Amino acid sequence: MTVNPVYHQSDSKLREELDWITEAKKDPESFGPLYTKYHEQIFRYVYQRMDDQELAFDVTSQVFIKALSNLHRYEYRGVPFSSWLYRIAKSELYQAFRDRKAKRTVNVESVHLFEMMEEFEEDDNSENKARLIEVLSTLRENDLQLIELRYFEKRSYREIGEILEITENNAKVRTFRALERLKKQFLK
C-alpha cells in the first residue's frame, strides 16, 4: 500500500509547520501557508464523502475557519497538523449532513473494488462488484469510515488513529473487524 506523503513528513517539515502555527496563533493572517498546504487534502476528504462539489468547498472553508478560531487550543503532539484538521473536517461533515441536508456518499473506484475482491478471495466480476457496492451502502457508519480511510484513501493505521483519536493498534484492530463484517455481509 502506498503511503500518504503529506502525512508522513520529515522532522524539518514538521518544525516548519509548527513555526507557521506559532505565527498564526499571534496573527491569523499567518495561517495562509497552512491553508495552502492542506486545502486540497481536506477538500478531497470532504468531497470523498459527499456528492455536491460546491458544498464540499463550503465545508472545506468552514473547516479552516473553525481551525483558525480554535487555533489557540491546538497543541503540537509530534504529528502533522492535518490530523487536527481532519478531526474538524469530520465534525463539520456530519454538521453538513444534519444542517444542510447533504447526502452521505460513498465514492468507490473500480480499482478499490478489485482490491477488496482480492482481499475476500472472490472473483472480480460485475455481479460481485454490484453486490459489494450494495453492501457498502448499508454498512455501519463507523465501519464504513474505517474502510474508506484504509482501503479507498490508502491511509496508514497511524494516520487513521490520529483522525479517529484512537491508537494505531486500535485502528488496525477496528479496521480488521470492519472488513470482517463487510465480508460477512458480502458473502451472506
List interacting residues with another protein (CB under 8 A).
Answer: 28-29, 31-32, 35-36, 39-40, 43-44, 47, 51, 53, 57, 61-62, 64-66, 68-69, 97, 103-110, 113, 129, 133-134, 136-138, 141, 144
Q: Under DSSP, is residue 125 helix (H, G, I), strand (E, B) or coil?
A: coil
What's the closest the beta carbon of residue 35 comes to another protein, in angstroms? 5
Instruction: Give least dist CB 29 to another protein, A.
Output: 7
123: helix, coil or strand?
A: coil
What CA–CA distance (Å, rounded) separates 17 from 11? Answer: 10
Q: What is the closest distance, in whole angstroms, from the C-beta atom of residue 68 to another protein in the complex?
A: 4
Q: CA-to-CA distance for 160 and 45, rounded, in angstroms?
A: 12
CB nearer to another protein: give 22 or 142.
Answer: 142
- Measure the CA dihedral 171/3/44/168, to 10°: 10
Q: Residue 72 or residue 77: which is nearer to another protein going by CB?
A: 72
For residues 41 and 163, is the Cβ–Cβ distance under 8 A? no
Nearer residue to another protein within complex by CB, 136 or 146:
136
